Amino acid sequence: MSTAQLLFAAAAEEGTSTLIRTEAAIVILIAIAAFVAVMARRFQFPFTVALVIAGFAATALGDLVAIDVSPDLILFLLVPPLLFEATLHIPWAKLKADLGPVLVNALVGTLIGTLALGWLVHVVLDLPWEASFAFGALISATDPVAVIAFFKSLGTPKRLSVLVEGESLFNDAVAVVAFGVAVAAAEGGGFTVGGALENFFVVSLGGIAVGLVLGYVVSEVILARVDDGLIETTTSLALAYGSFLVAEEFGVIIGQDDLHFSGILAVVVAGLLQGNLGVHNTSPSTRVTLEHSWEIVTFLVNSLVFLFIGLTVSISDLADEFVAMLVAIVAVVIMRILIVYGLSNVSGGLFPKRKVPIEFQHVMFWGGLRGAISLALALTLSEKVFDPETVQTIRVMTFGVVLFTLLVQGTTIAALIRRLGLAGKDDRALEQQRHQARLVMGRAGQSEIARLGADGVVSDDMADAMQQTYQDSLNTHTANLTEHSQAHPEMAAAMLYQARRDALAAERSALGDVQRTGFIDGQVAKEMSLELDHRFAALDEIEDRYGSNLDVDVDTTDLEDTIEALVAEELAWLRSIGPGNASADAIR
């Protein structure tokens, strides 16, 4: 074998070895994420915060979890699907209604925060102007992942979720563009307000245009002609990454290497289009497949992002730059107070019909966590642009703020939401669920005793005695549930909605049973499954429309009227997705 062949073989072997080590590290991290998810759910601890702590602990594994956490890995591989999935679930009608307050906070708030934090860091820590503004921009990008998870579990008002998530999506884009302007000014050796504004608008509008074009093409040209869950999931994944890549590398595509657009804005706009336009071109069953697929993708990506934060942050570096880190944390908290409460008053004056309640403002302030975007931007800072000490200081300040918001604010936001009375699942709902759970458990026990008696495992006298004991207990629980419902008639509609969903789930289970026995043909099973998907989609639409506590315009003490109102809502939605919809006729 020649020398060249030996060198090539060695290189190939080294490449394979590196690939195997990386794959092994990812497998270990995913296993850690799965374990953390189980523990976080069992002990009611914030999942993302638990992941960061697990990332700290995982550093003890050394080379087993050694992955080069580069900014490109986070920005180009992990961020696009997170942003895209978030926009898929934002109803345009609700976002449009609050677009004024959202843009005031996202656009004006981010720019004010960038300038004010940059000025403060420059004055207190004597960092260069461009580096100070770069830090002000990157730390202004909020990350609502942990907060939105609490919103879903606590049943907070839908409008609060739209305000928080909408602000984050747009201020991420604004922060990245502002960061790019500051770094470009440092690389070019100068800064002008006119040039910065021109660059800002070109990058922003270009990203919006890319997202609009690609999102429309996928939603109206591709998804309108294809109704297949696998194809649409694959296409949406390509749209998430493709819109980001096309925007960021637009100059390369047209032969102008210096031209870049905002990939984040492109992803946000493309996701909004598919979530509000593309899904209406698909059947409910395909929509269910799409949503489940994206849930898996975002779980994996979120897990890796927050584990990477724990793996990347060095405790020793934080200790060495403790003063700078403390200055950054205090400055960010103070600036968040001024932006949220100050701009909420401004937007309230500009849009008097969409004033943000003070309780919402409290959550928006304390829920302004920092995460993946800030971390990725800090890692992109090059020692070729700023001196090594400046780069190290900015990174430590960023890590410190990210950790503070996650470990302190992230662990207390749920308590704040409950304290403000914004948790939809209040004591009344929890008490109702306790009564219902006791009834379900009792019925299951009673059924098991009946089976044991029929099989002769226990004597008839023993089975009858135990059945009677269960029946007495069930009578008591039924009476308690009835009394609770009469004391809180406003919850009757929500209870009925959940019961209807449970009944549909039972129908789906029964359909699967009869299909497996061969009692019905596969084609019939597919038709019935599609019908059930339509009916579930109708219930989802009603929940989105009315919030976590269903509130139809009926006298909720009259259950017959309530049932008729719910059925009317389902029928109206089913008929809206197509004339002569068979599911609408079968829903009763």
The lowest-confidence range among 4-13, 368-377, 420-429, 573-582 is 4-13
The lowest-confidence range among 130-144, 210-224, 309-323, 398-412 is 309-323
Instruction: Spell out the residues 6+ positions from residue 456 whose beta carbon is closer than 8 angstroms to its own.
Output: none
Q: Is the dihedral of CA 166, 169, 175, 180 positive or negative?
A: negative
Query: How high is the pLDDT of residue 342?
Result: 92
Q: How confident is the model at residue 284 (pLDDT cuts 50, 70, 90)?
A: low
Establish if 9 belongs to a structural domain. Answer: no
Residue that is last in its domain, among 397, 419, 441: 419
Average pLDDT rounded to a whole number, residues 297-318: 81
Same structural domain, 413 and 432: no
Establish if 100 belongs to a structural domain. Answer: yes
pLDDT digits (tens, 9 = 90+) for 375-417: 888 888 877 778 888 888 998 899 889 889 888 988 888 888 8
Average pLDDT rounded to a whole number, residues 322-331: 91
Give φ, ψ of 85 to 5 degrees. -65, -35
Looking at residue 258, its amino acid is D
Enter the tokens of residue 416. Answer: 């704040």
Map tokens 């966590």 to a residue: 369
Looking at per-residue pLDDT, the higher value among 543 and 169 belongs to 169
Residue 371: strand, helix, or coil: coil
Residue that is last in its domain, among 472, 487, 502: 487
pLDDT digits (tens, 9 = 90+) for 200-217: 788 888 999 999 999 988
C-alpha distances (whole Å) from 294 to each of 145, 192, 218, 281, 552 are: 15, 43, 17, 18, 31
**Burial bucket for residue 537 (CB in 10 Å: 0-12, 13-18, 19+):** buried
The lowest-confidence range among 6-15, 42-51, 239-248 is 6-15
Looking at per-residue pLDDT, the higher value among 423 and 265 belongs to 265
Same structural domain, 430 and 575: no
Same structural domain, 523 and 467: no
Q: How far apart are CA 386 and CA 392, in angstroms?
A: 10
Q: How far apart are CA 240 and CA 264, in angstroms?
A: 10
The lowest-confidence range among 141-145, 323-327, 516-520, 568-572 is 568-572
Enter the tokens of residue 526. Answer: 């597919």
Domain span at residue 481 reads: 426-487
Q: Check pLDDT > 80 for residue 9.
A: no
Looking at per-residue pLDDT, the higher value among 577 and 467 belongs to 467
Residue that is last in its domain, among 436, 460, 487: 487
Query: How high is the pLDDT of residue 309?
Result: 78
Same structural domain, 476 and 558: no
CB 254 within 8 A of CB 263: no
Q: How far apart are CA 431 and CA 524, in angstroms?
A: 41
CB 118 within 8 A of CB 175: no
Count of domains for the chain = 3
Same structural domain, 216 and 365: yes
Looking at per-residue pLDDT, the higher value among 318 and 29 belongs to 29
Establish if 1 belongs to a structural domain. Answer: no
Q: Check pLDDT > 50 for residue 555.
A: no
Q: Check pLDDT > 60 for residue 550.
A: no
Map tokens 């590290």 to a residue: 25
Query: How high is the pLDDT of residue 568?
Result: 67
Query: How high is the pLDDT of residue 6?
Result: 43
Q: Which of 62-76, 191-205, 469-483 has the largest mean confidence?
A: 469-483
Establish if 455 belongs to a structural domain. Answer: yes
- The length of the chain in residues reads 588
Mean pLDDT of the residues in the chain: 79
Rg (CA), the chain: 27
How many other CB atoms are found less than 10 A from the CB of residue 353?
Answer: 7
Query: How high is the pLDDT of residue 573?
Result: 58
Nearest to 69 by CA among 502, 372, 392: 372
Average pLDDT rounded to a whole number, residues 127-144: 88
Establish if 141 belongs to a structural domain. Answer: yes
Q: Check pLDDT > 50 for residue 290.
A: yes
State the SS3 of 40-106. Answer: HHHHCCCHHHHHHHHHHHHHHHHHHHCCCCCHHHHHHHHHHHHHHHHHHCCCHHHHHHCHHHHHHHH
Establish if 73 belongs to a structural domain. Answer: yes
Q: How far apart are CA 478 and CA 309, in angstroms?
A: 50
Q: Check pLDDT > 80 for residue 139.
A: yes
Q: How far apart are CA 99 and CA 104, in angstroms?
A: 8
Instruction: Spell out the residues 6+ positions from residue 191 whose beta carbon is closer than 8 angstroms to its own.
Output: 129, 130, 185
pLDDT digits (tens, 9 = 90+) for 567-587: 666 666 555 554 444 444 444
Same structural domain, 170 and 270: yes
Same structural domain, 145 and 203: yes
Instruction: Spell out the residues 6+ positions from residue 479 whose beta carbon is closer than 8 angstroms to its own.
Output: none
CB 141 within 8 A of CB 402: no
Q: How far apart are CA 527 and CA 533, in angstroms?
A: 10
Terminal Cα distance for the chain, rounded = 77
Same structural domain, 64 and 197: yes
Establish if 225 belongs to a structural domain. Answer: yes
Average pLDDT rounded to a whole number, residues 350-367: 89
Determine if the pTM surpasses 0.85.
no
Same structural domain, 302 and 390: yes
Q: How confident is the model at residue 8 (pLDDT cuts 50, 70, 90)?
A: very low
pLDDT digits (tens, 9 = 90+) for 81-108: 888 888 887 877 778 888 889 999 888 9
Q: State the greatest distance between any 2 C-alpha atoms of the chain, in Å, as a whole number.
A: 93
Q: Check pLDDT > 50 for residue 503.
A: yes
Instruction: Spell out the residues 6+ positions from residue 524 whose beta carbon is closer than 8 angstroms to its own.
Output: none
Same structural domain, 358 and 479: no
Same structural domain, 98 and 156: yes
Angle at the Cα of 324 (from 182 to 173), degrees rounded to 5? 35
| H-helix or E-strand spanning residue 295 | helix 284-312
Q: How confident is the model at residue 239 (pLDDT cuts 50, 70, 90)?
A: very high
The lowest-confidence range among 161-170, 248-257, 286-295, 328-337 is 286-295
Looking at residue 401, its amino acid is V
Same structural domain, 482 and 397: no
